[in-house]
Each structure stands twice: as C-alpha cells, then as structure tokens.
Amino acid sequence: MPKVELARHLYAFFPHLEGKEISVTAATAAEVVAAMEKLAPGFAFYICDERGGLRPHVNIFIENDLIADRKKLTDKVKPDGRVYILQALSGG
C-alpha cells in the first residue's frame, strides 16, 4: 500500500491525520486523492478544483517526481510507493 505524506500545513485543516502513518490502497494519483477523501472528508475539494484537477497551489510528488497529469491525476503509484502532497504558502 502506498504511503502518503502531507505538508505540515495541511494538518491544520485535517488534524485527525497528524502523527499517523497514512497508507492507502491506490494505483494512481487520483485513487490516492479518493482514498484521502474517505479518511478526511473535504480533502479532495481542498486540493482539487470542481473538475478534479489539482488546484494551482498544490503539488503531488510520486517518489521524487512531480506528477505530469494535473487534470486527471492518472500518474501511476507503485504498491510500495510514497506520495507527497504539498501546498504552497504565501503571504506577507
């Protein structure tokens, strides 16, 4: 099962995930997002737009590679892979 790691900031919105090792059943980035939605309702809409594509300020890495398909999230995830979900922060 792939392991999912979140940027620290995301735990502020999904605190019940903090400190837990997150493993999901998924073969694509889209399936990772769907599995995360089951664990943390609202997660998918927080990182994806109404069409299911990644929001501009969010990135998903599978291992060390930034996903290529930001619209349909079809990038493959290995059964023992690592997925990192990051959100850019800005401010003054």
- The predicted-structure confidence for 23-47, as pLDDT tens digits, reads as follows 999 999 999 999 999 999 999 999 9
Q: Is residue 26 part of a domain?
A: yes
Question: What pLDDT, on a 0 to 100 scale, did the predictor assign at position 73?
Answer: 98
Could you list the residue range(s) of the whole structural domain that residue 78 is in?
Answer: 3-87
Question: What pLDDT, on a 0 to 100 scale, did the predictor assign at position 88?
Answer: 80
Q: Is residue 92 part of a domain?
A: no
Residue 92 binned pLDDT confidence (cut-offs 50, 70, 90)? low
Query: What's the number of domains the chain is made of?
Result: 1
pLDDT at 90 exceeding the cut of 80: no
Alpha carbons 80 and 92: distance in angstroms, whole number: 39
The enclosing domain of 7 has a CATH number of: 3.10.20.30
In this prediction, what percent of the chain has a pLDDT beyond 70?
96
Q: Is residue 79 part of a domain?
A: yes
Q: Is the pTM of this model over 0.85?
A: yes
